[in-house]
Amino acid sequence: MSFFKDFKDDLSTAADELLTGNDTDFGAKKTDSSQDIMVDTFSADNKDEKDLKKIDNLLEKVTPAESAKNDKDKDKAKKQDTATPAASKPAATSTTASAPISYTLNSPTPAAETLPVSDETTVITSGTVIRGDIESTGSLDISGEISGDVKCRGKLTVTGTINGNSSAEEVFADSAHISGEIVSNGTVKIGLGSVVIGNVSANSAVVAGAIKGDIDVHGPVVVDTSAVVMGNIKSRSVQINNGAVIEGFCSQAYAEIDVNSLFGGK
């Protein structure tokens, strides 16, 4: 608008100067009103303003449309940028499905005999009742009640109750009640106040409690003063202290002496 306005002002000034110059050059000569040069600046100005208004209207129509189009393009680009990383990422199900899956059925449990001996001790506290077999590669300390077989590769200490067979490297019963067979590769000690109803097999034995069953020991057997044995004793040697009660036969079948040779082989 300012450009056309300045152009109009310049054009009006030039026309005035031209008219003024004509009067000066011709002096007294007068020109007819019909011969005066007239410049229609008003109509030109109106035409220019109309053209400018048309241009402004076109710009007003075009600018919002282009801006709206640009906004749509920007939104579309943002959506594409946001969606591209998610699309490029592999789905979790595809990786999971492609991973191999293996199953092991009926895997055998290694027997306790094949496992190394442990230094740990499992404690069954007083008041605990277990109905079932117990097997350990270490030692067992039983103060509760076990209804089942007990097997360990360490030392078995019983101050509670076992209703079942017992097997261990070494067995020590103190004020215990055991109903079942006792088998040991080492020493079996039946302390004072203990009651064993079952056979005892070991390499050596010390009895101060009560046993109702046979004692089969490849080594020495010591029957203490407080001991009561209702069964046969078979060992290499037997020491019976004064006061012990034995109702059965004592045989030193594992002795190193050949008894038959002493009587001429008879």
pLDDT tens sequence across 150-161? 999 999 999 999
Flag whether pLDDT at 26 surpasses 50.
no
Instruction: Say which range, 30-44, 53-67, 251-265, has the weakest mean pLDDT.
Output: 30-44
Q: Mean pLDDT for the chain? A: 76
pLDDT tens sequence across 221-243? 999 999 999 999 999 999 999 99
Percent of the chain residues past pLDDT 90, beyond the cut: 50
The better pLDDT of the pair 19, 198 is held by 198
Please tell me the predicted confidence (pLDDT) of residue 239: 95
Instruction: Say which range, 109-123, 185-199, 251-265, has the weakest mean pLDDT.
Output: 109-123
Averaged pLDDT for residues 103-107 = 47
Flag whether pLDDT at 20 surpasses 60.
no
Averaged pLDDT for residues 193-201 = 97
Flag whether pLDDT at 136 surpasses 70.
yes
The better pLDDT of the pair 226, 95 is held by 226
d(CA 248, CA 70): 113
Flag whether pLDDT at 96 surpasses 50.
no
Instruction: Let me know: does 244 contact 222? Beta carbons within 8 Å.
Output: no
Averaged pLDDT for residues 116-137 = 91
Cβ-based neighbours of 120, under 8 Å, separated by 6 or more: 138, 139
Please tell me the predicted confidence (pLDDT) of residue 27: 42
Please tell me the predicted confidence (pLDDT) of residue 93: 47
Where do we find the tokens 């069953």?
213
pLDDT bracket for residue 40 (50, 70, 90): low
Please tell me the predicted confidence (pLDDT) of residue 29: 46
Q: Convert the chain into a string of H (helix), E (strand) and C (coil).
A: CHHHHHHHHHHHHHHHHHHHHHHHHHCCCCCCHHHCCCCCHHHHHHHHHHHHHHHHHHHHHHHHHHHHHHHHHHHHHHHHHHHHHHHHCCCHHHHHHHCCCCCCCCCCCCCHHHCCCCCCEEEECCCCEEECCEEECCEEEECCEEECCEEECCEEEECCEEECCEEECEEEECCCEEECCEEECCEEEECCCCEEECCEEECEEEECCEEECCEEECCEEEECCCCEEECCEECCEEEECCCCEEECCEECCCCCCCHHHHCCCC
Please tell me the predicted confidence (pLDDT) of residue 54: 61
Instruction: Let me know: does 248 contact 234? Beta carbons within 8 Å.
Output: no
Flag whether pLDDT at 78 surpasses 80.
no
Please tell me the predicted confidence (pLDDT) of residue 263: 78
